[in-house]
Chain A
Amino acid sequence: GAVVSQHPSRVICKSGTSVKIECRSLDFQATTMFWYRQFPKQSLMLMATSNEGSKATYEQGVEKDKFLINHASLTLSTLTVTSAHPEDSSFYICSASNRGVNTDTQYFGPGTRLTVL
């Protein structure tokens, strides 16, 4: 089946630093990638949708200058948390869709646990 990887799986950083999380589709081309945030015992919250070669579309309330998303190729999207603060600590999950926006299943990565000290 379709496999999506994320790197790193865990990261701890100091407040004020920036952290980059990578999401890769390993065996298929991902025309669309999604970034989610998951709080303990809560649902996945969609942060943004990115299409290869174009700017990401952010959900309401998500700061695009703080959460920079790049989808430079059909197999890689990155999320950069800039000037991270403790309230940014969370579990970040990406997913990828491989047949266009309206038709296909999302395949999820294993997630990245970010802890900001």
Chain B
Amino acid sequence: GNSVTQMEGPVTLSEEAFLTINCTYTATGYPSLFWYVQYPGEGLQLLLKATKADDKGSNKGFEATYRKETTSFHLEKGSVQVSDSAVYFCALRPLTGGGNKLTFGTGTQLKVEL
């Protein structure tokens, strides 16, 4: 079946530090890949996505590249801010057979300190 594995948190960084949150997946074929962010007290918001191998999704300074050879979709940001503190979820949607269902990772909490 489909699955998503994320690095465990919490991840604590100083402001302006470089961020990497690892995400690997297991799926048949070529799923679409997503990063969602959940700020405290709010619902999940789509941060970025990629739908095919070697695609790079980007938004608000965050980037992730769809790596088919390593089945990975790691999230990166060059310089984090306190306002980036949130929980980040990696997710996949199968190309066929799954409808619009998403399979999520367990989430990684990011804390950014001054």
Report A's interface with B, CB cutoff 8 A: 4, 6, 32, 34, 41-44, 46, 49, 93, 95, 97, 100-111
Contact = CB atoms under 8 A, between A and B. Distances in A.
A32 B100 contact: yes
Interface residues of B, number: 18
Contacts of A102: 99-100
A42 B106 contact: yes
Nearest to A41: B106
B29 to A, nearest CB: 14
| Residue of B43, B99, B104 with highest tally of chain A CB at under 10 A | B43
Contacts of A93: 43-44
Interface of B: 4, 36, 41-46, 49, 89, 99-102, 104-107
Contact of A97 (B41, B45, B100, B107): B100
A49 B43 contact: no
